[in-house]
Amino acid sequence: MLESGHAVLFVIAFGSFLGLGVAAPVLPFMALEMGIAASLVPLILLIEPLLVAVFAPGLGRMSDRLGRRPVLLALLAAAPLSYLLLAVTEGLVLFLASRILAGLAHSAFGIVQAALADSTRADRRVRAMALANLAYSLAFAAGALLTVLVLPGDRAEPRAAIILALLVSALSLAVAGLIFRPARIAPAQDGGLDRGLASPGSMARPVYPLLALLGLVSFAYAAMDTSIGVWTVQRLAWGAGEFAGVFVAGGLAAALSQVALLTPAAAERETTLARLGIAALASGLMILVVAENGFFVYLAALFMGAGMAVAMSALQALLSRSLPGAVQGGGLGLSQAVIGLAWVIGPGWASLTLAYFGPNWPFLGGAVILLVALAGLSRRPFALWRSPPAAQPGATP
């Protein structure tokens, strides 16, 4: 059963990401309709994660100092504004401006994770990260399902989905303003670690390998995510409504996997869970390489959704357990920056491989990268993660 504070954060995160889930399936098609070359679509979509990479660490540290509530509300307010610009755009300029605002709004995810960590024991931190990711996955699946209903095949105007995203994100902001009251942020227990977010040389030893793994997993997934829309058009002649079904399948698989992580059986098994998640994600990418019809695309989506959900929740839980309470916002914001940077580099690499080597290369290359990450999890230094710091004083179960 969820604590009341966790339930509130779950509702806020779900409402915010629901708008993103509604809009995401139609963005590649809107870009193509504007005359943007297919090989450039992944590059256009990288603006949002680039903004996350730039601003998430500073915004996280700001929430450590000023409190979670004011920073989170300000970022949530950027989402409806971004959809408003998308709804009225007729050209590239407003489309790009909407992606900038979306990047600011997406930076709220690290603050949601930090707010959950503030009120969760260290040995249950995987539960907190899974809860945040569950809200993200359910919202994407529900949002994509709404898009399927709004856009049956390719017969409807994609802007209808954008208007729906605007409405749900505005409602999420209103709910957050009314009910969100964050837990107290624990005082710093280690001055060196507190300074570590500003002075990398003093950061805890396990943090950098964890950030590297988060980056590799995110890179492989980002290359796939920002190229699979174009791939389905070129390979299967799908429309926006059909493609949204892939988001539904992946989101539901991710949600079911994250529900499993909420159980006591997942506690203290983060490294094993990370290995399983990375292996499943790599398997899904290889299925895409050989896919010839919609059945295999949906099967790949199931593997990739479940694998990404488990791997990211486990790695983020390990990272959170490596940081004291007073720098959860900054540390998890830094992880969002690494993930955002991977979502910048991954689509760029996908764009190049699409243009010069063929549509399957983003998937094949991602699978190879994930095998490297999987090998990294077996190296001796990573055993340090199995003995994380004790729970912070004042945290609740």
Domains of the chain: 4-181+203-384 (1.20.1250.20)
Return the C-alpha torsion angle 256, 210, 17, 198, nearest 10. Answer: 160
Mean pLDDT on 85-105: 83
Q: What is the pLDDT of residue 108?
A: 87
Q: What is the pLDDT of residue 188?
A: 43
HSE-CB for 203 with a 13 A CA cutoff: 21
Q: Tell me which range, 2-16, 334-348, 370-384, is most confidently predicted by mean pLDDT.
A: 334-348
pLDDT digits (tens, 9 = 90+) for 224-238: 987 888 788 777 877
Residues 36 and 34: their CA atoms lie apart, in Å, by 6
Q: What is the pLDDT of residue 214?
A: 93
Q: What is the pLDDT of residue 379?
A: 60
| Residue 72 pLDDT > 80 | yes
Phi and psi, residue 329, nearest 5°: -60, -45
Is 325 within 8 Å of 313 (Cβ atoms)? Answer: no
Please state the pTM of the whole predicted model.
0.77
Mean pLDDT on 333-342: 89
CA dihedral sign, ordered 108, 110, 114, 120: positive
Q: Which of 30-39, 196-205, 209-218, 236-245 is least confident?
A: 196-205
Helix (H, G, I), strand (E, B) or coil at 343: helix
Write out the two tokens for 72.
């989170």
Q: How confident is the model at residue 153 (pLDDT cuts 50, 70, 90)?
A: low
Which residues lie closer than 8 Å to 201 by C-beta, 6 or more apart?
Answer: none
Residues 97 and 102: their CA atoms lie apart, in Å, by 9
Residues 329 and 323: their CA atoms lie apart, in Å, by 10
pLDDT digits (tens, 9 = 90+) for 13-45: 888 788 877 787 778 777 777 777 776 776 777
